[in-house]
């Protein structure tokens, strides 16, 4: 029986979300077992995770774009990483939030 496109997309979505969710649950349990009570519960922790994740994702995207186009010039990646650092610092220092960060 042939799978439908919608079923395939839903399966891929849940399989993509499954690994980070399992890692989060394991880290939460380990943190609680070792007496760390702030993991997963504070706004600052989530902000830190999102900022670090977005910076890493931008760097990965920049490198992927260079390799995909069969180029090994990483100056484009450097510009994207530098932009994310500058935009992140501007937004944090001025209290602008996530939307201006993504726009910048």
User: What Cα–Cα distance (Å) separates residue 24 from each residue in 8, 36, 40, 48, 57?
Assistant: 25, 14, 8, 15, 18
**For 29-68, what is each residue's pLDDT tens digit?**
998 899 887 777 778 888 887 888 888 888 788 778 878 8
Two structure tokens written together for 9:
């997309």
Two structure tokens written together for 39:
């993991």
Ranges of H-type helices in the chain? 5-33, 43-68, 75-94, 98-103
Bigger pLDDT: 56 vs 77 = 56
With a pLDDT cut of 70, the percent of the chain lying above it is 94
| Annotated domain spans of the chain | 1-41, 42-104
- Residue 74's pLDDT is 65
């Amino acid at each position: 029986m042939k799978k439908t496109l919608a079923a395939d997309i839903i399966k891929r979505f849940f399989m993509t979300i499954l690994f980070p969710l399992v890692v989060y649950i394991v880290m939460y349990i380990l943190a609680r077992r070792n007496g760390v009570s702030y993991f997963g519960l504070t706004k600052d922790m989530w902000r830190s995770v999102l900022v670090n994740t977005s910076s890493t994702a931008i760097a990965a995207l920049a490198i992927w774009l260079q390799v995909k186009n069969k180029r090994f010039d990483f100056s484009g990646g450097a510009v994207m990483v530098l932009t994310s650092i500058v935009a992140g610092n501007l937004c944090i220092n001025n209290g602008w939030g996530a939307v201006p960060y993504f726009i910048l």
